[in-house]
A and B are shown apart, each in its own frame.
Chain A
Amino acid sequence: DTAVSQTPKYLVTQMGNDKSIKCEQNLGHDTMYWYKQDSKKFLKIMFSYNNKELIINETVPNRFSPKSPDKAHLNLHINSLELGDSAVYFCASSQVRTGDYNSPLHFGNGTRLTVT
C-alpha cells in the first residue's frame, strides 16, 4: 500500500532531451509538491498544487512544467535537460488545513535524475 509513488526511480539521459516523472498519492491529500534535492542535500520546493490548481512556483525555469490531471496525480515534465538539472526529485503530498496548518508531508521514494 504505497502512499506516494513516483516513477521512474532512476533516469539517465542526455542533455537536450525531454523527460517526465510521474507521481500518484492514495492518501486523499489535497496538496501535492515537487521538491528538488541537489548534491549538497538541500531540499528545495519547486511547485505545489492544491486540488489541481498551481499554488506555488518557486522561480523554477519554465523548462519545468508540472501537470496535475486530478488531485491524486502530479507529474513533472522537463524540456531541454541541462547538466545542472541532475538531482533527486521528490514528490510529496500533504493536507492543508484552514490555510494555516499543514499535516506532515509524505514523500515518494525519489527519482534520481542524471543528465550526461
Chain B
Amino acid sequence: RKEVEQDPGPFNVPEGATVAFNCTYSNSASQSFFWYRQDCRKEPKLLMSVYSSGNEDGRFTAQLNRASQYISLLIRDSKLSDSATYLCVVNGGKYNQGGKLIFGQGTELSVKP
C-alpha cells in the first residue's frame, strides 16, 4: 500500500461546481497534514494545513478522520483559477524520521467555463 494515496484524476468540472478530493495515508502515527496546490511547471504551494477538528479557508474546507486515516478537501463554487494539481501531504509520524513529509501522487483538477 502506498504511504499516501489520492483519488486518480483528472477531475473536469464546470465553473461553480463543488468538487471533493480524498486522500488516505498508511501511517497511523502521522501528525501533520497538508494540502498543496501545484500549477503547471511551478513549485508546489501550501493551500492549507489540515487540523483534527476540520478547518475552512474561504471556499476550501479540509477534514481529517484519524480513525480511518483519511483526509479530504472540498472546493465550493469552483473558479477557472482553481485548475491545478492538488497534492495531499502527510508527515512520517512519531519520531518523525527527521521530518519526512510524504506526497500523494496528486489529483488534477480542470475547471471549465
Contacts and interface: CB of A to CB of B under 8 A. Distances in A.
Contacts of B101: 33, 45, 94, 102, 105
Contacts of B113: none
Contact of B31 (A33, A101, A108): A101
Contact of A50 (B36, B49, B98): B98
A110 interface: yes
A86 interface: no
Interface string A58-78: 000000000000000000000
A41 B106 contact: yes
Classify chain B's interface size: 20 to 34
Q: Is the interface of A mostly helix, strand, loop or mixed?
A: strand
A102 B96 CA distance: 9
B34 A107 contact: no
A85 B33 CA distance: 29
A100 B105 contact: no
Interface string B29-62: 0011010101000111110010000000000000
Interface residues of A, number: 27
A104 interface: yes
A102 B106 CA distance: 20
Contact of A48 (B31, B32, B98, B103): B98
Contacts of B89: 105
A114 interface: no
Interface in A68-116: 90, 94, 96, 99-102, 104-110
Interface of B: 31-32, 34, 36, 38, 42-46, 49, 85, 87, 89, 91, 93-103, 105-106
Interface of A: 31, 33, 35, 40-45, 48, 50, 55-56, 90, 94, 96, 99-102, 104-110
